[in-house]
């Protein structure tokens, strides 16, 4: 199992673009595996649009991978989404890690855009089929409830011959969706024990569908903070999380020192997950950069030592 640690952002915590690019440069130079942008179109808080953000990151960087965690397919045109993903993958030399989901029913977009949340599951299934086929087929005809295509095509296609298609969500429908078409699963608010149950269910459902998802294609995400649980930044973040989701943040946030964060990673690894999106808690350039630097210096070396990457056999 290859354990990889990426970093993600939901809200835009920097004073301006300069702080953001200092953060991206730090992650690129510091060995962070990947960068992830939460998908949010409607918000009062400053949040970057995910596809635009990762396209900009593609041009800024040369090594690091990136993705959206996760893109709400029911809010997007699938042909445009497939084209955007292909373009970013081509221009980045194959560094895109696309992840898709149904979107939370609590998200503000549905009400603001007057979209019926009851349609999001079917729209997502149809949209994902269109996206997947456009990445690999010359032309696509599609006759669905929400989308109808006649001879649709995109070019250039993604440079990754099998561009990953990771699925998010913990519902029974998301499990079936991942088992049917996904190449991986990316967790959101699930704690280790809950994430482990979902991973086990996906494996069973994939086997029933005659498919197999690689053992190291299961991911988890959680907020982290070097400091004390009663620090104001942590208290504000936890309160906002509980109000937004109705979930208890205890046991989800990793707050403390490097050992605390490493222990939380180990809990997920024991549950069968190996890819991580960690979100630094706090706002302001100095705070986010300091939290990121501590993760790079204190956690990443221990992850590499505890879960060394498999050595690839030499060609020929």
Q: Average of pLDDT values for 152-158?
A: 98
pLDDT above 90 covers what percent of the chain?
87
Assign domain 4-306 to a CATH class. Answer: alpha beta
pLDDT, tens only, 239-259: 999 988 889 998 899 999 999
Residue 14 makes CB contacts below 8 A (sequence gap 6+) with 20, 23, 284, 285, 288
Report whether pLDDT(20) > 60: yes
Q: What is the pLDDT of residue 316?
A: 46
Query: Mean pLDDT lowest for which of 147-156, 212-221, 306-315?
Result: 306-315
CA 42, CA 44: separation in Å to the nearest integer?
Answer: 7
Residue 288 in contact with residue 280, Cβ under 8 Å? yes
Burial (0-12, 13-18, 19+ Cβ within 10 Å), 311:
exposed
Q: What is the pLDDT of residue 104?
A: 78
Residue 273 in contact with residue 2, Cβ under 8 Å? no
Report whether pLDDT(85) > 90: yes
Mean pLDDT rounded to a whole number for the chain:
94
* pLDDT bucket at 202, cuts 50 / 70 / 90: very high
Burial (0-12, 13-18, 19+ Cβ within 10 Å), 31:
middle
Query: Mean pLDDT lowest for which of 14-23, 68-77, 292-301?
Result: 68-77
Q: What is the pLDDT of residue 226?
A: 98
* pLDDT bucket at 292, cuts 50 / 70 / 90: very high
Closest CA to 288 of 87, 101, 8, 41: 8
CA 34, CA 275: separation in Å to the nearest integer?
Answer: 10
Q: What is the pLDDT of residue 250?
A: 87
* pLDDT bucket at 116, cuts 50 / 70 / 90: confident
CA 52, CA 314: separation in Å to the nearest integer?
Answer: 38
pTM greater than 0.85 (yes/no): yes
Report whether pLDDT(147) > 90: yes
Q: Average of pLDDT values for 282-306?
A: 97
Q: What is the pLDDT of residue 105?
A: 78
Report whether pLDDT(312) > 80: no
């Amino acid at each position: 199992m290859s354990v990889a640690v990426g970093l993600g952002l939901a809200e835009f915590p920097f004073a301006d673009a300069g702080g953001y690019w200092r953060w991206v440069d730090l992650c690129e130079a510091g060995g962070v595996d990947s960068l992830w942008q939460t998908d949010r179109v409607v918000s009062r808080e400053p949040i970057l649009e995910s596809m635009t953000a990762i396209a900009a990151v593609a041009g800024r960087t040369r090594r690091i991978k990136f993705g959206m965690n996760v893109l709400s397919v029911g809010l997007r045109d699938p042909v445009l989404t497939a084209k955007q993903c292909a373009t970013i993958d081509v221009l980045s030399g194959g560094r895109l890690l696309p992840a898709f989901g149904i979107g939370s029913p609590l998200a503000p977009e549905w009400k603001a855009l007057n979209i019926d949340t009851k349609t999001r599951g079917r729209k997502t299934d149809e949209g994902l089929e269109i996206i997947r086929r456009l990445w690999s087929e010359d032309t696509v005809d599609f006759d669905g409830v929400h989308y109808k295509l006649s001879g649709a095509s995109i070019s250039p296609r993604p440079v990754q011959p099998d561009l990953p298609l990771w699925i998010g969500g913990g519902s029974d429908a998301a499990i079936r969706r991942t088992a049917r078409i996904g190449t991986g699963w990316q967790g959101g608010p699930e704690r280790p024990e809950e994430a482990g149950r979902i991973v086990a269910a996906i494996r069973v459902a994939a086997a029933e569908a005659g498919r197999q998802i690689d053992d190291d294609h299961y991911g988890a995400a959680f907020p982290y903070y070097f400091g004390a649980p009663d620090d104001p930044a942590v208290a504000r973040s936890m309160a906002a999380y509980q109000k937004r989701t109705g979930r208890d943040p205890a046991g989800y946030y990793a707050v403390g020192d490097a050992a605390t964060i490493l222990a939380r990673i180990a809990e997920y690894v024991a549950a069968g997950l190996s890819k991580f999106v960690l979100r630094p808690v706090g706002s302001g350039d100095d705070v986010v950069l300091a939290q990121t630097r501590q993760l790079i210096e204190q956690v990443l070396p221990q992850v590499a030592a505890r879960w060394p990457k498999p050595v690839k056999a030499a060609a020929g």
